[in-house]
Structure 1
Amino acid sequence: MVDTIKHQGIVKNINGSHVSVRIIQTSACSSCSVKGHCSSADSKEKIVDVIAPPGTYHIGEEVMLIGATSMGLKAVLLAFVVPFLLLVISLFLFMEIMNNDLWASLFSLGILIPYYAILWLNKSRLKQQFSFTIKPINN
């Protein structure tokens, strides 16, 4: 179970097989005893949509969301690493071809538009790959 990400949450809404779970995403220092005196301690409320069999959960129930660590790594790769590499490689190519830094940088930024459009068009496929499983917490 080392390869999993776990978040405790509360069922907020149920719509058929879609269960909306509210989780509190906290920074690493939010549990520190001096967090009240520090400006870097923060937490954010997130709503995660999970597919579960109808009638399994009810609103207000405490649940555990479980996901694979590889999902986080893949998300970072798609959101940050690939666009950065596209940007840098295209910038050097356009600078070599055009000999104009302004136009080379603009065209290089323009390369990101089709990349993010492709990601957006494949969002249903990505939702299937980036999904959490839900388990009840037995008190």
Structure 2
Amino acid sequence: MTNTIKHQGIVENITGSLAFVRIIQTTACTACSAKGYCSSSESKEKIIEVLIPTNLFLKVGDAVLITGETSMGMMAVLWAFVLPFLLLIISLFSMMSLTDGNELLSSSLSLAILVPYYFILWINKERMKKNFSFTIKPIK
């Protein structure tokens, strides 16, 4: 198993030292020869923001290869799904004991705890961008 994620894309826009690259994210089924008979194949266009190295000159419309580490994906899943799920479960059981078993109140308070969690993530998005960054190189 490879430790990198690679996507081919097209530079859509360049702002300062940032390139906005359009990639087509596909599921594994998209390459399957039976995809026409199956409803699970799917692809989506995404815009990825990538820092351009100072020694690289790109222009809009250039074909590029975006590369990232698989550990970035795992870390993103941890922050976005695993930790909030654990926070939700722990807070639900805590609230159940604090509210003498009032399920509606406990579940409402547990869900409300996720609001500050995601707000803190949003506040720290610039710091997190440094950890979740892709590299870019032109395709010739």
1:133 to 95, 111, 135: 135
Q: Give the deviation of 1:37 after TM superposition.
A: 2.1
Equivalence for 1:114 = 116
Q: Unpaired runs of 5+ in structure 2?
A: none
Report how far residue 54 of structure 1 moved.
Answer: 8.1
Runs of 5+ consecutive residues of structure 1 not aligned to the other structure: none
Task: Give the match for residue 45 of structure 1.
Answer: 45
SS in 2 for 1:30: helix
Conserved 8 A contact 1:50-1:133 = yes
The SS at the match of 1:119 is helix
What does residue 96 of structure 2 align with?
A: 95
In structure 2, what is the Cα distance between the partners aligned to 1:76 and 1:55? Answer: 31
Q: Structure 2: which amino acid aligns with 1:20? A: F
* Count of aligned pairs: 138
Provide the rounded CA distance (Å) in 2 between the counterparts of 1:109 and 1:54.
47
Q: TM-score, normalised by structure 2?
A: 0.93
Give the corresponding residue for 1:57. Answer: 58
State the TM-score, normalizing by the size of structure 1.
0.94
* Aligned residue type for 1:133: T
Q: Judge conservation of contact 1:29–1:35 (CA < 8 Å) in 2.
A: yes
Q: Give the secondary-structure state (helix, strand or coil) at the position aligned to 1:103.
A: helix
Q: Give the aligned residue type for 1:63.
A: V
* Maintained 8 Å contact 1:20/1:50: yes
The residue aligned with 1:123 is: 125
DSSP-derived class of the 1:105 partner: helix
- Percent identity between matched residues is 59
**What per-residue deviation string (whole Å, max 9, x for no partner) do you get for residues 66-118 of structure 1?**
11111000000000000000000010011011121111111111111110111
Q: Give the equivalent residue in structure 2 for 1:15.
A: 15
